[in-house]
Amino acid sequence: MAALMGALGTVGLSAEQPNVIFMLADDLGYGDLSSYNPKAEGEAPNNTPIRTPNLDRMAELGVRYTDFHSAAPICSPSRRALLTARYPNRLGEWAEAYSSSPDGVVASQDPTIGMWLKQAGYATAVYGKWNVGEILGESWPGAHGFDDWLIIDHNTGYFQHQNKNADCNGRPMLFETGGKRVTDMEGQYLTDLWTDKALEFIETNNEKPFFLYLPWSIPHAPLQDPDSNSSTAFDAGPKSNTSEGRKAYVSMVEHLDLHIGRIFQTLEKQGQLENTLIIFTSDNGGMLSGNCWPLKKSKQHLEEGGIRVPCLMQWTGKIPAGTVSDQPSIMMDASVTVLAAAEALKHVPEGRVLDGINLLEETESPRDFGWRRRDWGGRGNYLRQEAFRSGDWKLLRSFKYVGDKKWSTEHKDELFNLKDDLGETENLAEQMPEKYTAMKSVFDDWKSEVVNQNPDYFIPLRDQLGSPANLPDDIVLDFESKNFDGKLHKAKTKDLVSDPVIENGICKVTVRAGATPPLLYKGMDVDTEKYSALRFEMKISGGTSVGAGRAVLRDTAWKGDDLPFKPTADGQWHEYIIRGTESTAWPKWTPEGRIGVALPVPTEGEIVVELGTIRLEK
């Protein structure tokens, strides 16, 4: 290791700042590339070989890391870590999930490498799956220092750029610089579109260094073979973990490799290859059609198969060709390496902690890493797994699954020596009690240092361990975030009810005559012994004749007993207090309950209903 890191440690800054290309696959397995698994070992049907000559050549001409990890076993928090160069947990204990912060990674609060590279004089672009926030001017790429962009926020079909998200409504979910929705590229494979943009960017940026971020969506589902019909539905494709799914997966990865080859060819043609630092890795472990051999489990899990990923790095003339490094490393290391090579670390705000190291410098110190995997949504908030790595040792904590997407407080701890047991087959916790105790202690120290217990946002449900302890339990819905935190149920009259508009702490909904009363609500475990009423302010404009409103009180899913109230429609704000104790649902409330307001409907024309914070009262 010392000799190897010594070789990498000889890398110095070039006479000019290098270009940087950061390529990120989506759900690629550790054993999918032949440079990591030349005999295509693993379990059928996922052990069919994948031809990736361009990535193989990248491994031959640069360094291949064998102990490189994502910062999370799922997409968004891993991408947060890459861009911020920080553990996602620093954004809040519950930042393991995308929507834990409705506005995503807000640039003014959490600056990112794109911003610092732009300050360092780089032209910047991102083409691919963004997945860290979708608020123009705050968390979309422009706010994070990217000059040009063509992105999806969440996975879509590869030909039809749509998904099942509520705000899609049959429209393409592809957006370009400035936030404009792209509607004239349906039928074109996403990887092809992004590569074409990448080549154009490379060819037109010869005057100053560039940073090109390519967060591909391959091979994430839907599994859609690039040779499929261009009219293939956005959600079509074979199931994962089947022979048909693996076949499509292989075609997708080979197609990605082909287009990576186009990028290398263009760099060479432009005379830019030798002065370009190129990084390729995956956002997390392989999905169910991926090959994670020789590791245990896959994406979603904190076993090595979910977090150990391939990582290749090439910088011609700077990184020795054919290098293989077993340096324990993590996604934020790649981020810091980019900043160091680009001479951009000086632009990181003073006091801002980055959680990576420059992999091009020699290091002998052992590394410690931590992970947390949370599962939450409108019906629950549960900690699934935690893991901590110190040197060769790994502590894995798995909470007991009790069904229906719920986990209990009961957990199992396992201790592994990854140097001797990469497949995590032998739990040494009982055999080595002193080491087990020491690992638990340093893991607690890591959580105390890294996990932000007081974020600006909260998951509105406590997990099985009672966290977040400081969660305000009297807020049903507030509208301080630009993204809507709850849900608006429009029934079968969607064309008569607008989407909610959030401005200055107010939620506005336009309702037309004939609509089914729309339900503005959120799943919430109400403390019905502590609270007895629902209070909110509402203003109705545009009409004076309206039907009744209702306090939505459903103790279990949609079962419950709503309470009607008479709204005043005079264009003025009025306060309403609804006594929840008068509903038969109140004493029967469960963690699966739903609470909110059914908005009034005009007898004719349309009205605009505005609401302030909906809260509980004692």
Percent helix / strand / coil, the chain, rounded to 5: 20, 25, 50
Cα of 555 vs its chain's centroid, Å: 31
On whether both 328 and 418 belong to a single domain, the answer is: no
On whether both 40 and 139 belong to a single domain, the answer is: yes
Q: Give one word for 457, left, alpha or beta, with left for phi > 0 and alpha for psi -120 to 50.
A: beta
In a domain, 233, yes or no: yes
pLDDT > 90 in the chain, percent: 82
Is the distance from CB of 398 to CB of 411 less than 8 angstroms?
A: yes
Mean pLDDT, rounded, for 77-104: 79
Cα distances from 132 to residues 230, 231, 461, in angstroms, run: 28, 29, 22
Mean pLDDT, rounded, for 266-286: 97
* C-alpha–C-alpha distance, residues 567 and 242, integer Å: 55
Q: At what angle do helices 75-84 and 331-341 cross, to 10 degrees?
A: 30
Q: Is the pLDDT of residue 14 over 50?
A: no
Q: Is the pLDDT of residue 79 over 70?
A: yes
On whether both 87 and 205 belong to a single domain, the answer is: yes
Range of the domain at 394: 369-450
* pLDDT value, residue 366: 83
In a domain, 468, yes or no: no
* Tens digits of residue pLDDT in 36-64: 999 999 999 999 999 999 999 999 999 99
On whether both 412 and 318 belong to a single domain, the answer is: no
* Tens digits of residue pLDDT in 196-240: 999 999 999 988 999 999 999 999 999 999 999 999 999 999 999
On whether both 348 and 484 belong to a single domain, the answer is: no
In a domain, 458, yes or no: no
* C-alpha–C-alpha distance, residues 597 and 517, integer Å: 10
* C-alpha–C-alpha distance, residues 502 and 484, integer Å: 7
CATH number at residue 400: 3.30.1120.10
Q: Is the pLDDT of residue 586 over 70?
A: yes
When comparing pLDDT for 67 and 454, which is higher? 67
What are the φ and ψ backbone dihedral angles of 289, each rounded to 5 degrees?
A: -100, 0
3-state secondary structure labels for all residues of 330-361: EHHHHHHHHHHHCCCHHHCCCCCCCCCCCCCC
On whether both 400 and 490 belong to a single domain, the answer is: no
| 3-class secondary-structure state, position 508 | strand
* pLDDT value, residue 97: 53
214-223, 391-400, 491-500: least confidently modelled range: 491-500
* pLDDT value, residue 379: 65
In a domain, 455, yes or no: no
CATH number at residue 547: 2.60.120.260
Q: Is the pLDDT of residue 516 over 60?
A: yes
In a domain, 459, yes or no: no
3-7, 523-527, 596-600: least confidently modelled range: 3-7
In a domain, 463, yes or no: no
On whether both 522 and 543 belong to a single domain, the answer is: yes
How high is the mean pLDDT of the chain? 92
Q: Predicted confidence band at 10 (pLDDT cuts at 50, 70, 90)?
A: very low
Q: Predicted confidence band at 189 (pLDDT cuts at 50, 70, 90)?
A: very high
Question: Counting beta carbons within 10 angstroms of the beta carbon of residue 11, is it exposed (0 to 12), middle (13 to 18) or buried (19 or more)?
Answer: buried
Asked if residue 328 has a cis previous peptide bond (ω within 30° of 0), the answer is no
* pLDDT value, residue 378: 61
CATH number at residue 25: 3.40.720.10
Q: Is the pLDDT of residue 376 over 90?
A: no
When comparing pLDDT for 433 and 468, which is higher? 433
On whether both 358 and 389 belong to a single domain, the answer is: no
Last residue of a domain, one of 332, 363, 394: 363
In a domain, 82, yes or no: yes
Number of independent structural domains in the chain: 3
On whether both 184 and 226 belong to a single domain, the answer is: yes
On whether both 137 and 246 belong to a single domain, the answer is: yes
* Tens digits of residue pLDDT in 295-341: 999 999 999 999 999 999 999 999 999 999 999 999 999 999 999 99
On whether both 348 and 375 belong to a single domain, the answer is: no
Last residue of a domain, one of 319, 334, 363: 363
* pLDDT value, residue 95: 61
On whether both 440 and 513 belong to a single domain, the answer is: no
In a domain, 548, yes or no: yes
When comparing pLDDT for 2 and 105, which is higher? 105
Strand partners, 501: 508
Q: Is the pLDDT of residue 520 over 90?
A: yes
* Tens digits of residue pLDDT in 451-462: 887 776 666 677
78-87, 179-188, 465-474, 548-557: least confidently modelled range: 465-474
* pLDDT value, residue 3: 36
Last residue of a domain, one of 325, 345, 363: 363
* C-alpha–C-alpha distance, residues 72 and 89, integer Å: 10
* C-alpha–C-alpha distance, residues 594 and 343, integer Å: 52
Cα of 522 vs its chain's centroid, Å: 22
pLDDT > 70 in the chain, percent: 94
- Long-range contacts of residues 11-16, Cβ cutoff 8 Å, at least 24 apart: 11/315, 11/318, 11/319, 11/360, 11/361, 12/318, 13/341, 13/343, 14/275, 14/318, 16/209, 16/275
